[in-house]
């Protein structure tokens, strides 16, 4: 005799195996990139540079146009002022000068060739903000002791604006709020100049923090897993974005990036600091997965020099 439970049981089985997973995906779409995390198998957007290792001035190698775009994006090559053709895979003098400038910034041998140490540094995940003002191939602006830098024109918050409010986007994971809050606390304690508090609304906040992916409307699109991890804008813009396609965690977690360490770095940008040439500074441009990093005296000296406190 046929069981009366067979049809209901089949329906339940279908529900649990096929229907519920689909609804769960649509109910919590914001969890996919940074709570569930990606599996880390995606190639880095900077990985193409490995195929060009060893190329030098005078050569024509497929991918050099991508190298030009990389150096242009991070402030070493300015197409508007130079004769170099950004679409040509030709290693010209301007590209050599830009590459030497990059090597000097990162304390590499200024060979002007795309050697192994240079490639290894260029493929590291990093902040998306440029390291320097485009095509500034001299180091006259460097400090003799400290290595901190400022944005062109030295933008900063007005003198009477020492308390800044911050808010998180509607889909910002709640478990990532405490480490970002802790980053603000660390900057406040270290500087004894700025104070921070959470705003009542996102719209009213001085500083707006969110996750975004690819082209998200601010003129600086993200590039997927690896490559650019986050970016923030100079005063008094206030926007700070994490790349939702990267793998994020609280603390040192293998193959993931620490939310607080990147927050410390991007808050530095929000306050007016550019990228530092001192590797131990939080404002050093690149980051390693599975590790954490804190504020350094170079970061604090930079802020003091900018605001005069």
DSSP 3-state assignment of 175?
helix
Whole-model pTM: value is 0.84
For every one of its 309 residues, what pLDDT tens digit does the chain have, with 9 covering 90 and above? 444 444 454 444 444 444 333 333 322 234 344 543 444 456 789 999 999 999 999 999 999 999 999 999 999 998 665 556 777 899 999 999 999 999 999 999 999 999 999 999 999 999 999 998 764 444 444 343 468 999 999 999 999 999 999 999 999 999 999 999 999 999 999 999 999 999 999 999 999 999 999 999 999 999 999 999 999 999 999 999 999 999 999 999 999 999 999 999 999 999 999 999 999 999 999 999 999 999 999 999 999 999 998
Provide DSSP, 38-103: --S-SPPTTGGGGGGTT--TT-B-TTHHHHHHHHHHTTS--TTTS---TTS-B--HHHHHHHHHHH
Yes or no: say if 284 and 276 are a contact pair by the CB < 8 Å rule.
Answer: yes
Distance set, CA 15 to CA 3, 7, 12, 21, 190 (Å): 20, 12, 5, 9, 54
**What's the rounded Cα separation, in Å, for the pair 237 and 244?**
21
- Per the annotation, the verdict on 266 as an active-site residue is yes
Secondary structure element (H or E) that encloses residue 268, with its range: helix 259-271
- Please provide the distance, in angstroms rounded to a whole number, between the alpha carbons at the two ends of the chain: 88
Catalytic one among 94, 96, 260, 266? 266
The distance of Cα 146 from the centroid of its chain, to the nearest Å, equals: 23
Cis peptide before 274 (omega within 30 of 0): no
Give the C-alpha separation, 133 to 48, whole Å.
25
Query: Is 206 marked as a binding-site residue?
Result: yes
Residue 201, CA atoms < 13 Å, CB-side half-sphere: 2
1 annotated to a ligand binding site: no
Say whether 275 counts as a known binding-site residue: yes
Q: Is 137 annotated as a binding residue?
A: no
Domains in the chain, CATH or no CATH each: 47-123 (1.10.101.10), 163-307 (3.40.390.10)
* 265 known member of a binding site: yes
């Amino acid at each position: 005799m046929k069981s009366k439970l067979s049809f209901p049981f089949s329906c339940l089985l279908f529900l649990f195996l096929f229907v519920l997973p689909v609804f769960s995906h649509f109910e919590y779409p914001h969890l996919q990139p940074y709570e569930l995390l990606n599996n880390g198998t995606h190639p880095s957007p900077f990985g193409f540079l490995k195929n060009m290792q060893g190329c030098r001035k005078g050569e024509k190698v497929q991918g050099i146009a991508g190298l030009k775009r990389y150096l242009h994006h991070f402030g070493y090559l300015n197409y508007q002022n130079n004769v170099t053709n950004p679409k040509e895979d030709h290693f010209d003098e301007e590209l050599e000068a830009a590459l030497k400038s990059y090597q000097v910034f990162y304390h590499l041998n200024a060979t002007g060739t795309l050697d192994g140490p240079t490639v290894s540094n260029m493929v590291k995940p990093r902040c998306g903000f440029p390291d320097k003002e485009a095509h500034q191939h001299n180091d006259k602006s460097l400090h003799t002791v400290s290595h901190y830098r400022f944005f062109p024109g030295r933008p900063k918050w007005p003198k009477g604006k020492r308390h800044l409010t911050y808010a998180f986007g509607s889909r910002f994971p709640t478990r990532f709020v405490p480490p970002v809050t802790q980053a603000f606390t660390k900057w406040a304690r270290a500087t004894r100049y700025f104070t921070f508090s959470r705003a009542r609304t996102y719209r009213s906040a001085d500083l707006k923090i969110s996750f975004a992916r690819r082209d998200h409307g601010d003129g600086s699109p993200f590039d997927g897993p690896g490559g650019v991890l986050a970016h923030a804008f100079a005063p008094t813009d206030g926007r700070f974005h994490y790349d939702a396609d990267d793998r994020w965690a609280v603390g040192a977690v293998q193959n993931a990036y620490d939310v607080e360490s990147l927050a410390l770095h991007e808050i530095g940008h929000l306050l007016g600091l550019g990228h530092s040439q001192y590797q131990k500074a939080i404002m050093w441009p690149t980051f390693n997965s599975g590790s954490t990093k804190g504020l350094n005296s170079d970061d604090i000296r930079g802020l003091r020099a900018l605001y005069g406190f």
